[in-house]
Structures are given as C-alpha cells and as structure tokens.
Amino acid sequence: MAIAPVVPPARDLVEEQYRDIERFERAIAQYLAGEIPEDVFRVMRLNNGIYGQRQGGTNQMVRIKLPAGTITPEQLDLMGHLAETYSRGWGHITTRQNVQIHFVELTKVPDVMRELAKVGLTSREACGDTVRNVMACHLAGACPHEQLDVTPWAEATFEHFVRNPLGQRLPRKFKVNFSGCSTDCGQAMFNDVGVVATTRTLEDGTVEQGFRVYIAGGLGATPHPALALEDFTSREDLLPTVEAVLRVFDQTGNRDNKLRARLKWVVDQLGIDEVRRRVLKVRHTLPASSSWPGGIPEIVAKAGDAPAGRSTTVEATAVGQGVAVALTPRDPYERWVVTGVVRGTANGTVSAVAYAALGDITASQFRALASIQRELGADVRLSNRQNVVFRGLTEGQLPTLYARLEAIGMARPGAELARDVVACPGADTCNIAVTQSRGLAAAIGEALEDAGLAEVGGVRINISGCTNSCGQHHASDIGFFGAERRAHGRSAPGYQMLLGGYVGQEQIHFGDKATRLPAKAAPQAVVRVVRRFAEERSAGETFRTWLDRSGGAAAVGATLKDLDVFPTFDDDPDFYVDYGETGPFVAAVGDSECAV
C-alpha cells in the first residue's frame, strides 16, 4: 500500500522576508565600508532583485516581482509612491510581469524593500541565478478558451520556490510560465518550464484536467524552443515535476561558462530523451524529500482553479498572437472596445486593456489606476506586452472604465495593434545594451501614426537593445535587436531586423533575419512592411502566413536593402547619434548581470 508523504508545515514567508531585508541592509553597510568584495556583494544584490545601472556609482534598478502579474490597489498606490519618492517619477512594466523602478540610491533600497513587504510584495530573486518571477497568462481565470485557471498554480509555484534553498545558487536563471490553454498567451514555449493547462479523456469516458509541461525553452542570442516533457501531467504531480526539472538543472547545468549555463544547453549536451529520463526519475523519488511539494497546493485548494468557461450566449473573443483586429468604428469609445475588450466567460464578466505606451506608468497614473480598481471592484493584471488589464467587469462598467482611462491617457486603442510596440529598457539604463531600444520604439510608433498605420491589427513589434532578447524580439512578427555598425570610419547605432516570430497553439517559430538597418532607418522599414502587410493580406490572414506567401523574411528584407545605407557624417550626422542622445554614438557595454 502506498504511503502518503507528509506535507511540511507552511513557511512563514513574511518573517523570512524581513530577515532577508535586515541581512541585505547589513551587507550594504559592509560593502560600502570595503568589508565585502564586489563579486560577493553582486551575488547578494542580484539575489535580492537589485541590478546595477550603466550610470555606475550607487544607482540601482529595483525589480519587483508580481506573480501571475496580479496587482492590488494598495500595491498600485505603492508603485506611485516608490516612483515619486525613490526614482524619477515613473515605473516600467516588463515583459515578465514585473515592475522596475530605476535610479534608486543603494542605501535607500532596504527602505523600498520594507515598503514592498507591507503590501505583500518582494524583489527577492527577481534577478540572479534563481527562480525568477512566475508568470501566467494575463487572462487566466477570465479567458473564454482556458482549460484551467492557472493563476493559483502560478502563485503556489512562486510560494514554493521563493527563498527555497534549492533555487539560490543555480547555474543560471530559471524561468517558469503558465498558460491556461494552447493559445499560450502566457508564452510557455520559450521558458525553462512552460506549463499549459489541458485535459485528457480516461478509459471510463471521464475527462481529467491537468497540464502539459514543456522544458528547456529560452530566447537570448541562441533561442531554443521548449520541448514537451510528457503527454500529460496530473494536477497532483505538477509542483513535483517543476521541482524535479529544477533539481536536474542544478545537478547538470554548466557552472563554468555562464553563456552556456541555461537549461537549453543541458538539453543540447545530454539530449532531450536523457533529460526527460532524469527528470521523471527525480520526480519518482521526491516523496522522500523533507520538502515534498506534491498534492494539490493549499492555495489552489482554497482559491479553486475551475476554468472561466465558454459562454453559451456570448461569442468568445478571439485571443492570442495573430488575431485579426479590424478597427471600423469612428467613435473613440467603440474603437477602444473593439481592440481592448475580451468577452465570453460563463459568468458574463468582461476584461479590458489599459494601454501603457512602452510599458511606462507615471506616479500619478499608478495612483489613478488604484482608484479605478477600487471604484470598479476589478481584478487587475499586468500583461507580458507591458499593459494593464482590468478583469471581472460588467458591460455596464465599460463606459466608466473608458472615461477614467481617457482622463489619464491610457484609453488609446492599443492591444494587438501596430502601435503597441514592446521594448526593453535598452541603453537608457541597462549595462549591456548597445542601443536605445526605447527611443527606437517611440520613433516607430510616431512613424506608424504619421503614416496612418498605427491601428493596423494583428502585427506585433518587439525591440531589444542587444542580442539577449529581454524585449523578446525573436517571438514577434517584426523584431529588432541593437548592434554597433561601422560606416565611413565611424561607429553608428544599428539594428538587425527579424520577421515572422510567432508563439501560439503550443508552437513557437523564432523570427528569421530580414536585413540590417541603421537605427534611424528602422522606423521607415517598419512602415513599409506594415503597409505592405495591410494592403496584401487576405481577410483574417496572419502576419506569418502573409510572410510565407510573400517569400519569407529574406525576400521581404531584400525590398528594404535601399534603407541599409549610411550617409557620410557631414551629409547627415544624425545617423551617428542614437535616439535620445546628444553626442556621437558609443557602444559602451559593461559587465553582464542579466544576459539571457
């Protein structure tokens, strides 16, 4: 007879958090006094979610973890306070559902951490060789297509691994992501562990809900698609499976070469069959562990994970990359509804997107969003496209939400439209960025607006300031990564353009190289590609299908070759100055703290 493993008592995460803060505060004092060497302090700093900035000195970026992208009014209010008190008046939503604030003085970081703890947030393990923020689809629990609400599963995974000794000194970072259905809005297909809710029919005809687990995905300079671990993973086995993958990674990851240390390189070395064998073997023995994580987690049992369900009276809104969006209404409110509202859940609720250009939110906008959330009693999530999603609304609340968002400049139709450009922080603050990706993103947005193409639907544009893909350029319809170019004996900002990236239906296709471009020519290239797509696509045709029909990335890129020209410095010195800069371009790249 099988012996039921003993589940260990719940950890006191709050007490652990305050002890962490005190330790880190002491470490800062010792570091500034010269008692802790730089390399040792760097590990401590990163494990506490604190990055150095390219500005040097004691300027720090604080990355705040928001498991599943969930955020409360109190937490939104705090974001406004932190941005105003410790930073430069605004914060930044990342592609991994974190919030980052920059230019925080090192000695003030413990104060920020304590303020975060008061509202149930932490920066712990938002950076470093740890288990990073656990993501989930921004529509989890509100999606008309989902098989399970993966929200509590993401939160249970976060709680199990935060400050867990297993995840403190991994060979490299470890990313976990949840999607509620095969549409994969959560982008499970390029994570170390990507979990997709699914079902299977048993011999007696009953349907069991569970998961399909994918492993060893990753972006970076060498992207790798996640691969299926097994056909079906039960709900009871999910956390043990994630832990088993983590343990195998800890045992086999490359600790001598950071550039080949991610789980994708373990698969490259051992082969997926051997990695699968090891993971399943470790999972089989985990019931003997003192920290066995099996069974249904308490947070899931308490919150429930039943899917939102498809409505029988309302047609489910299509979701995911490649969704055809046609803006026909002239009324501003109706245009926002067409692009930003998702309907179709069984209980009649709707979700709506507040558009945050470049993922930036000012202190006053944070506070206004908190006020709106309280007024409407809404659930709010941050999306991996750097927007804010209000959920659990009624139809009658939509006009109020629109009016409130319009008042703070966040009601513009943006979701799944060309203007919704995603970018990493780039050379504005990042140590290893080559170019000003945020500046290019703004320039592309302006060029699309001027060309009347900003509201073309079904095309995603992502930009990274280097090859490391923090802006997820590999997975978008149009992607760019920054690179130094040489022209007429001078250094100049440039980009590699990729076309055709796609994530969905438990598949991923990384973008293919199209052409290289001067940074100042990239907006015009985007305008030409988006215009051609808008003019040539058939009804409902995705960007990827249109691209294949047009000969692929290389063929479309060949039509842009005339843009890959640098004038001489005397003819146009602007080509040798990056966006937002005043002096000649310099590829000033520092030590990597966050390379993918």
CATH number of residue 240's parent domain: 3.30.413.10
Evaluate if residue 19 carries a pLDDT over 70: yes
Rounded Cα distance, 260 and 266, in Å = 8
**Residues 261, 263, 269, 270: is their CA dihedral positive or negative?**
positive
Q: The domain spanning residue 369 has which CATH number? A: 3.90.480.10
**456: confidence class by pLDDT, cuts 50, 70, 90:** very high
What average pLDDT does the segment 523-529 reach? 98
* Residue where a domain stops, chosen among 359, 376, 407: 407
Question: Is residue 581 a part of any domain in this protein?
Answer: no
* Whether residues 426 and 339 fall in one domain: no
pLDDT digits (tens, 9 = 90+) for 544-559: 999 999 999 999 999 9
What average pLDDT does the segment 500-520 reach? 96
% pLDDT > 70, the chain: 94
Question: Is residue 190 a part of any domain in this protein?
Answer: yes
* Residue where a domain stops, chosen among 103, 118, 133: 118
Evaluate if residue 311 carries a pLDDT over 80: no
What is the reported pLDDT for 92? 97
* Whether residues 74 and 156 fall in one domain: no
* Whether residues 396 and 271 fall in one domain: no
In angstroms, the Cα distances linking 255 to 95, 128, 171, 277, 312 are 27, 14, 5, 22, 53
DSSP H helices in 377-503: 398-407, 437-450
Q: What is the longest distance spanned by two Cα atoms in the chain?
A: 84
Range with the lowest mean pLDDT among 241-245, 442-446, 454-458? 454-458
What average pLDDT does the segment 36-52 reach? 95
Evaluate if residue 189 carries a pLDDT over 80: yes
Percentage helix, strand, coil for the chain under 3-state DSSP, each rounded to 5: 35, 20, 45
Nearest CA-CA partner of 437 in 359, 339, 547, 553: 359
Evaluate if residue 2 carries a pLDDT over 60: no
* Whether residues 113 and 161 fall in one domain: no
* Whether residues 473 and 401 fall in one domain: no
What average pLDDT does the segment 574-591 reach? 85
**431: confidence class by pLDDT, cuts 50, 70, 90:** confident
**346: confidence class by pLDDT, cuts 50, 70, 90:** low
* Whether residues 561 and 450 fall in one domain: yes
Rounded Cα distance, 135 and 151, in Å = 9
- Structural domain tally of the chain? 4
pLDDT digits (tens, 9 = 90+) for 91-137: 999 999 999 999 999 999 999 999 999 999 999 999 999 999 999 99
Q: Look at 322 and 528; give whichever has higher pLDDT.
A: 528
Average pLDDT of the residues of the chain: 93
* Whether residues 160 and 296 fall in one domain: yes
* Whether residues 523 and 381 fall in one domain: no
Per-residue tokens: 594: 């966050």
Evaluate if residue 313 carries a pLDDT over 80: no
In angstroms, the Cα distances linking 13 to 16, 65, 128, 316 are 5, 14, 20, 39
- Domain enclosing residue 533, as ranges: 422-576
Question: Is residue 266 a part of any domain in this protein?
Answer: yes
What is the reported pLDDT for 8? 47
Rounded Cα distance, 299 and 194, in Å = 20
